[in-house]
Structure 1
Amino acid sequence: MQLLLAALVVLPLLGALGALLPAPPGLKGRNPDQAVLRHGVTVTGVVLAASVALAAGFDHDHPARMQATTDISWIPALHIRIHLGVDGISLPLLVLTALLTFLCALYSYFKMPTGPSPKAFVSLMLVLEAGTLATFAVLDLMLFFLAFEMVLIPMYFLIARWGGAGKQAAAWKFILFTLLGSVVMLLGLLLIGVKSGTFDMVALATDNGPNSQLSHTVQLIAVLAVGIGLAVKAPMWALHSWLPDAHTAAPTVGSVLLAGVLLKMGTYGFVRIALPITPEGMHTFAPYLAAFAAVGIIYGSLACLALVRKGAGGDLKRLIAYSSVGHMGFVLLGIASLNPTGVNGALFANIAHGLITGLLFFMVGALKDRTGSTDLDALAGTTGAALYGRAPRFGGLLAFAAVASLGLPGLAGFWGEMLAMFGAFEPAAGLSRPAFLTFMALAGLGTLLTAAYLLLVVRRVCMGGTPHLAPIAPLGDGSRPDDRAPGEPAAAEAPALPDLARYEYAAWSPLAALTVLAGLWPAALLGLTDPAVQQLLGGGK
């Protein structure tokens, strides 16, 4: 177990180095590009297998206890240690990261995005995986910061070198927002370490009672500083504006990893660091966090409704990016409730969002490959998608992902949002219940708006537009042979649209299956997170 967790972090780094080396003669395949893409599939597959083995060997009877721990002194003068561990909060995120990265590598093997050498692409994707896995595995504040920052450069280059229109501006916006947030976060982490005398997250989470080394003022400053950095990555409304541009410009696998994994790093930091280490500061700022979350839910939904409107020229990829602002608002609302129900809902919504939005971005990328556009007006027109008739399996799966995203009961998206609102209905002691009831009502309105824009997406993309019919001249017997007037040429038939390919089945079926499984059997995930959350909110006792 101990070696498995360490291997999860180290193997992608070794694989990234291996991707830059020449392929052995017997493994070159048809060309060197194929060899390095196959190398990416192999390494991410091994990492996924290790994460599944870690989950299988995890003591599910004690999910609140840190397991598979490694604790080695690294920089004694600064009290920084290489401290790794996994509990019921971090285990699902580790498996989700390994799964999504493997599926992205598999998809890229068949559909490599246009850009520079695949060697650099595979290497950057593996470095990104290593940084994300390390973020969820480390238990030292400085190591957390290093892992948190480690993912920025790979994602910047994935957007800037393999992205679409506007990729340079989007990549710069991404890196500037996240770096500025991280500088402020580093100051907060250093303040915690200096005032408490340790950067160990387990020790800090345990020693947060009346005898804590962190005064109320220190906690307020620390939460504000750390929270800004985490909120940028979350993404919280008002600090989210980098996200739509980054998603729209990123290649398909970049969008999948950004939505499915990177956004979770911010919300995970709130749960792992802010809640247990600075509880008094979180209690003070919780109403403000909940207010921003509720505004984000409404704002994201209204932005999506504006994009889906006929004639607005909205981009489907951009619409899904704005939907993430709303969905992650539910995660932040659950965290801000400061009670086990809300925090469990936030953790569940994290996983559900990764599965569902990852599937949506995969499908939108494939739709662009088929039609050449993600413009909703083009997709809804007579020359657009109309997927139910032209590619029924593709259209059916896209409709499934959309209704899962709107929170249909029985699918994964339902439980997290419902529990987050339940948490806001009865927030922790000392928080204003009328205020949180208002936030809950806004979140409930957001679910209705979410259903509206996603059903409109299904209507326009899967069913096609409703073209204007020319007047039909009846024949002598009153019959109408077709939908055109005499002398009017018949409308050209839309070109063939390929349905799901075998590699798309392989890459997307696990996400669809897990969406159904999590919706029908939520106890599988909640049974892991709840004991850990109860201990975390109880001061680690």
Structure 2
Amino acid sequence: MDFPWLTVIGAVPLVGSVAVGALPRALAPRARHLALAVSLVTLALTVAMVLQFDTGKAGEYQFAEQHQWIPQFGVSYALGVDGIALVMVALSVILVPVCVLAAWNEVGAEKARLFFGLILALETMMVGVFAARDIFLFYVLFEAMLIPVYFLIGSFGGPRRSYAAVKFLIYSLAGGLVMLVAVIGLYAAGPGGETGFLTSNLTGLGFSSDVIERLLFLGFFFAFAVKAPMWPVHTWLPDAAAEAPAGVAVLLVGVLDKVGTFGMLTLCLPLFPDAAHWAGPVIIAFALVSVIYGALLAIGQSDLKRLIAYTSISHFGFIVLGIFAFTSTGQSGSTLYMVNHGFSTAALFLVAGMLIARRGSQQIEDYGGLQRSTPMLAAAFLIAGLSSLALPGLSSFISEFLVLAGTYVKYPAAAVIGTLGIVLAALYILLTYQRMFTGPAKEYAAGWKDLSVREGWVVAPLVAVIVLLGFYPNPVLKVINPAVHRTMTTVHSTDPAPTVPVEAGGQK
């Protein structure tokens, strides 16, 4: 039997969560050390798994595991990763130790066991939801993620944490309940038997009625749109991100919200190809609204963390746009965008958290002239912000370019409208930087320390990845592209033929 990589990678943080929670009160301050060690072990195991991943077969599921779970209902414990799932698992396990380090001094010793225990439990669920190859297992993990996030926001958030946590829970439960109805309907329409919930069994069912397929598609899509979040079911995100601790906001926006777009690409499209094509133009319209609406509201924000949240709504609009353009270029760009957005948004939230810890305020107007007193923090924020606005040479540029290029060949008007999001992004990032970091030095910041050693270990890896993927995204694209091509084949989509003929030798 092959080594169960995915089970072990998911189990290590879960065992670590129990160990952190079981620490005696006298050892409570050590909870952060244990959590960091566990998250680094999980990262090391993931690196070992990635090194064994066959990139030549990245379109197939590897490290597969399958065991009967509830055979009466066809439910299996089935795991596996293709190229898309692999990069999402990697994103998750990279960001967790960064967030543990970022929260090192944010949580008092008496609550450290609960906080870091919940973070590790959340890591298990993030790994599981991206690796799940059984619809029922995916749904269980999809819903279970709500529990640690609810308590992380409600117990450790800002002044309006209770409101934000309850709003997050209500929206997510509403989407999850609709998805549950669709899961039951899919099973009823599927082959049944002991493997009735396996995604491989449910792909290409050839539904007896277009109405049934469309209703099931809408059930899944609604849940994923809430999770993503897309306009108009997005309003929970600014509240949750603004009230959550910075590290929790990173995992919420950088990873958990990607479950929505990941589900659209890897479940909605293969399971309901005809319905996906039917709904595609309308979804593209909603995606464009998300792009423009999120950017416009970001420009008008006075709260720094709410601003970053609204920028993410705009970015998720780009991701959905690329998915439903039904081109390999667009879908590869969307998947790469999920990865790049995770790192750039993580850097923005974490630098924002460091500034808020020093000043005690999330209001942008309470800052100014900080590039004189904290030049390294200013530089980190600027690099992450420039990546967010897709500056060439930084990570988000190539993914945004691929999304727009892939969209243009089928929906040129949509691509043109989408480019307005780039212009607006320049406004909300550069204006924010100008207001917070330029101008005369402020007296209150005279005694501030720049990046500490711990904060440097938080920010430096993120900045390095942003720059590296900006110049050399090929290793990630090499893993993503075969899985995207498999999805394109499953949904019966082909890339448009080039409009400019090319003769042998490269001469027209």
What TM-score, normalized by structure 2, do the two folds share? 0.93
Letter in 1 for 2:330: G
1:525 is matched with which residue: 447, 465, 476? 476
Alpha-carbon distance in structure 2 between the residues aligned to 1:214 and 1:50:
44
Deviations 1:4-62 (A, max 9, x none): 21111111211111112135xxxx9xx52321111111111111111111111101111
Report percent identity of matched pairs: 34
Give, in angstroms, the shift of residue 88 of structure 1.
Answer: 0.4
8 A Cα contact 2:290 2:317, kept in partner: yes
1:340 is matched with which residue: 320, 328, 347? 328
Match of 1:181 in 2: 175
Give, in angstroms, the shift of residue 204 of structure 1.
Answer: 2.3
1:379 is matched with which residue: 339, 342, 367? 367
Match of 1:447 in 2: 422
Match of 2:98 in 1: 103
1:515 is matched with which residue: 449, 458, 466? 466
Tell me: CA distance 1:22–1:113, structure 2 relative to 1, closer, same or farther (3 Å): closer
Tell me: CA distance 1:286–1:540, structure 2 relative to 1, closer, same or farther (3 Å): closer
8 A Cα contact 1:234 1:266, kept in partner: yes
Deviations 1:254-308 (A, max 9, x none): 111111111110000001100111000100111111111100110011101112x
SS in 2 for 1:82: strand
Alpha-carbon distance in structure 2 between the residues aligned to 1:522 and 1:218:
40
Alpha-carbon distance in structure 2 between the residues aligned to 1:114 and 1:267:
35
Match of 2:81 in 1: 86
8 A Cα contact 2:295 2:424, kept in partner: yes
Report matched runs for 1:383-462 at 5 Å.
386-427=369-410, 436-462=411-437
8 A Cα contact 2:23 2:113, kept in partner: no
SS in 2 for 1:71: strand
Alpha-carbon distance in structure 2 between the residues aligned to 1:215 and 1:204:
15
8 A Cα contact 1:196 1:214, kept in partner: no
Any stretches of 5+ residues in structure 1 without a counterpart?
Answer: 308-313, 381-385, 428-435, 467-490
Give, in angstroms, the shift of residue 114 of structure 1.
Answer: 5.2
Match of 1:484 in 2: none
8 A Cα contact 1:63 1:87, kept in partner: yes
Any stretches of 5+ residues in structure 2 without a counterpart?
Answer: 493-508
8 A Cα contact 2:181 2:219, kept in partner: yes
Superposition misfits of 4+ residues, deviation over 6 angstroms: none
Alpha-carbon distance in structure 2 between the residues aligned to 1:377 and 1:116:
33
Match of 1:303 in 2: 297
Report matched runs for 1:147-166 at 5 Å.
147-166=141-160
Match of 2:340 in 1: 352
2:246 is matched with which residue: 242, 252, 262? 252
8 A Cα contact 1:345 1:420, kept in partner: yes
SS in 2 for 1:538: helix
Matched, 1:367 2:362: no
Alpha-carbon distance in structure 2 between the residues aligned to 1:132 and 1:330:
23
Matched, 1:61 2:56: yes
Letter in 2 for 1:527: K
SS in 2 for 1:288: helix
8 A Cα contact 1:411 1:520, kept in partner: yes
Alpha-carbon distance in structure 2 between the residues aligned to 1:115 and 1:175:
27
Matched, 1:119 2:120: no
SS in 1 for 2:56: coil
Tell me: CA distance 1:494–1:276, structure 2 relative to 1, closer, same or farther (3 Å): closer
Match of 1:141 in 2: 135
Give, in angstroms, the shift of residue 419 of structure 1.
Answer: 1.2
Number of aligned pairs?
487
Give, in angstroms, the shift of residue 540 of structure 1.
Answer: 8.6
What TM-score, normalized by structure 1, do the two folds share? 0.87
8 A Cα contact 2:250 2:346, kept in partner: yes
